[in-house]
Amino acid sequence: MRIGKNIRVFKSSILEQFTYVHPVMPIALWGPLVVYWFTNGMISHDTSLVHCTALALEGLLVWTISEYLLHRFIFHFEPHGPFQERIAFLIHGIHHDDPLDERRLLMPPVAAGILAIIFYALFWLLLGTHHVQPFFAGFITGYLCYDYTHFAVHFWNPKSALFRRLKQNHMLHHYVSPNKRFGVSGSLWDHVFGTFG
């Protein structure tokens, strides 16, 4: 049963359905691709398991800073005028207006796919063909950790101290200081850039 406000985004019911994401969707979509990118990077380019794992861990680390920067500067950009206000609302404003809408806690596949193409192209230019696939497997693994951590901190009562801290930080972001605590799956970059407290 839904406990959010049920804010409608589009008049079209078809477009509206694209704003909802079932919790299984991200792992069903991205999980097989992560496995493919990691193994194909190793097999196609005759790269060792250790080298591929190191690249994947680097991709995971790069995700953490990307998560912070996207949340701080893209999701929370300051709109000027009606058009930008609409874009800001669609990107992230709806989530702050209705943080209890479980259908909109995970990134819709269309938006995630567009961002993935942009990031893949950027990493391909920087890393080249031989390294991009295992690196991107780690990057998308980080994205999946972010997406599911975000879902969990909104709807689960975590038992572990780590997840209780993550939930507390994110709830403070929502209800006390929306211009602080941009890290969802961790607070490292908030500490580095002074946006934690």
3-state secondary structure the chain: CCCCCCCCCCCCHHHHHCCCCCCCHHHHHHHHHHHHHHHHHHHHCCCCHHHHHHHHHHHHHHHHHHHHHHHHHHHCCCCCCHHHHHHHHHHHHHHHHCCCCHHHCCCCHHHHHHHHHHHHHHHHHHHCHHHHHHHHHHHHHHHHHHHHHHHHHHHCCCCCHHHHHHHHHHHHHHHCCCCCCCCCCCCHHHHHHCCCC
pLDDT for 41 beyond 60: yes
- pLDDT given at position 4: 58
pLDDT for 66 beyond 60: yes
Q: Is the Cβ–Cβ distance between 170 and 150 less than 8 Å?
A: yes
Confidence of residue 9 (pLDDT cuts 50, 70, 90): confident
Q: How far apart are CA 152 and CA 185, in angstroms?
A: 10
Q: What is the mean pLDDT of residues 163-176?
A: 93
- Region class of 81: left (phi > 0), else alpha (psi between -120 and 50), else beta: left
Q: How many CA atoms lie within 13 A of 190 on its CB side?
A: 21
pLDDT for 104 beyond 90: no
The residue type of 115 is L
Least confident of 46-50, 53-57, 73-77, 119-123: 46-50
Confidence of residue 114 (pLDDT cuts 50, 70, 90): very high
| Domain residue ranges in the chain | 13-193
Burial environment of residue 63 by CB neighbours within 10 A (0 to 12, 13 to 18, 19 or more): buried
Of residues 162 and 105, the one with the higher pLDDT is: 162
Q: Is the Cβ–Cβ distance between 49 and 134 less than 8 Å?
A: no
pLDDT for 1 beyond 50: no
Confidence of residue 150 (pLDDT cuts 50, 70, 90): very high
